[in-house]
Amino acid sequence: MKLKIKVVEAPFLFHQLMCLLGLHAWISLGNTIYVRQGELRNKSLIRHKIKHIEQMELHGKFLFSIKYILLCIRYGIAKNPFEVEARSTLGDEQISVKSGDKHRSSRI
Ligand SMILES: [Zn+2]
């Protein structure tokens, strides 16, 4: 499955909100992964979020959201099968993250 995914550092206020909510990354509906400032090279985090994007593409974004919430209610977030699968991607798969422009965005 070939997906167009963009990874960017969250703008300041969004970064602050993510810190308040305890989030290290956020996925937009447009397949952009926003990471906290300083986490642009955190390949494990990005790989995990890419797996969630793949899951969303497979199930459909709306159905994925509903299933994700229901599975969290049933199993808790740590044992949610979507999370278990996403954590299983933390192997040695190669991804390339490079920063270039002034916004430090990367396409992977
Ligand atoms: Zn996750």
What is the per-residue pLDDT across 6-52, written as a single tens digit (0 to 9) for each?
Answer: 999 999 999 999 999 999 999 998 899 999 999 999 999 999 999 99
pLDDT at residue 4 tops 60: yes
- Predicted local confidence at residue 89, as pLDDT: 81
Cβ(108)–Cβ(8) below 8 Å: no
DSSP string, 7-74: EEEPPHHHHHHHHHHT-SEEE-TTSEEEE-TT-TT-HHHHHHHHHHHHHHHHH-HHHHHHHHHHHHHH
Residue 85 CA to ligand 1 centre (angstroms):
9
What pLDDT digit, counting tens, does each position of 44-92 carry? Answer: 999 999 999 999 999 999 999 999 999 999 999 999 999 999 999 876 4
Query: Would you kindly state where each structural domain of the chain is located, as residue ranges?
Result: 6-107
**Strand, coil or helix: what is 6?**
strand
Ion ligand 1: residues, CB within 5 A, are 83, 86
Find the 37 Cα to ligand 1 centroid distance in Å: 19
